[in-house]
Every structure is written in structure tokens, then in C-alpha cells.
Copies of this chain bind each other. A is one copy, B any other.
Amino acid sequence: MAERVLVINPNSDRGCSAGICDALAPLRMAGGPAVDVATLAEGPDGIYTNRQVAFVVEPLMRLIEAERARTDAFVIACYSDPGLEAAREAFPGLPVFGIRESSVAVALARGDRFGMIAAVDSSLRRHRKWMQASGFGPRLAASEASGLSIAALAADPAGCRPRLVEIGKRLVAGGADVIITACAGMSPYRALLEQECGVAVVDPVQAAGMLALGAARLAAAARQEAGAKAAE
């Protein structure tokens, strides 16, 4: 089986999927797994409520079931990590990553405390609740909502850049050694933020992508090793 990572956008917004695809570009390497993106057609335009998070689980599970024979690792690319536990429960042994969980994992391997930029206050509250529930509360130094919509981030970089840098610097002043950009549409700003704020900046799609890539490579290597043993 050719090595493959499949990153699923659980909302049906293809523009969002394009942004996800672009963010993954640095992780596509010759000799490495294919890193594909799929859009969940049955999903809503955007996932903002708990009701929507529950709604996408069933179609997401069916998509994973359909693709799993030819995929080494999956990424669920919505910051609410919908269906993550359902997928791990239903498919033991299959590597499945959620971008929120992965973003915090990667941040904690870069520094002591992290800061988070979300889009709006309601998202911030939901994500902070998850972080507290997952035991990461004391590691979250500061967080702030940008108030910038995905549309604005795409259409007006010149206007958005200074605002994001200003927030990033406030998070650093509040104790963050690492920043997580916890909202869609911020991937193109990662490198700039890192340079301007002087700390590592973690993009959740890239975080999950590198972990999935690692899992896929290890799975492929294990298959080769087993194949070699069988041949002996």
C-alpha cells in the first residue's frame, strides 16, 4: 500500500479545504506519504455549536470506514476535534489525529506555556474548557479572540497582520512561550507571527499533519520490516 495521510475537513466549505491543503504543503516530501485532503459533503458550512459537532460524527465515521483500507493515518481538521473519540473507539489501532489535541501536544514539546488566538469569544470559551478538562489548564498562559473572520483573514492580510501581531505580543507578555493559532484561515500568517513575536507559532493543521506523517512512515516501515521477516 502506498503511504497516505488523509486530512478530512468536516465542514463542506471547499474554500476552507483549500486553505487546509495549502497549509500542508511543507509536509509533502519526495519519498514521504501522500497528504490528501477530503471535504465532508454532508457537513454544514461551518461547525460552531455542540449540535453541529455531534451532527458530523456519523458521516465522518462513514468516510473513515470507506477510506481506511488505503490510508495509514487520518486527521480531523476542525478545531473542535469532532468524532475523534468515536473514531478511535470504532477503529482500534488506526492512527487518528484531531487538530486541537495535536496543536497542544506540539506546543508542549516546544516550550513551557502556550497562548491561544481564537476567532471569537465563544470559541475561546469552548477551547479553554477542553484544555482544562484535558489537564492543560496550568500550561495555558493566555488567550484572546481576534474578532477576525475567515473571510477577512483571506481578503485583507494587510489589515489583519498588525492586529494578529499585536495579540501575539500580548500573549507573550502574558507568559506564553509558544502560540497556537486556533482558528481556520490563520495558516498563511504563521511564519510572520513567529518572526514578529519571537516565539514558536503552531498551526493546528500542520501540527496534526506532522504527527500523522510520522505515524504513517512508522506504519510503512513496520510493514517493510514484517515483509522482510516473512521473506526470510
Contacts and interface: CB of A to CB of B under 8 A. Distances in A.
Contacts of A50: 57, 85-86, 89
A58 B49 contact: no
A175 B125 contact: yes
B108 A51 contact: no
Contacts of A177: 88
Interface stretch (A13-21, A146-154, A158-166, A209-217): A209-217
The count of identical subunits is 6
A212 to B, nearest CB: 9
A121 B40 CA distance: 34
A120 interface: no
Interface in A117-139: 125, 129, 132-139
Given A30-B32, A108-B108, A210-B214, 6 more contacts: A31-B31, A31-B32, A51-B90, A54-B58, A55-B57, A207-B214
The 10 A-B pairs of least Cβ separation, nearest first, read: A30-B31, A210-B214, A29-B31, A54-B57, A133-B133, A50-B86, A26-B221, A105-B109, A191-B222, A105-B105
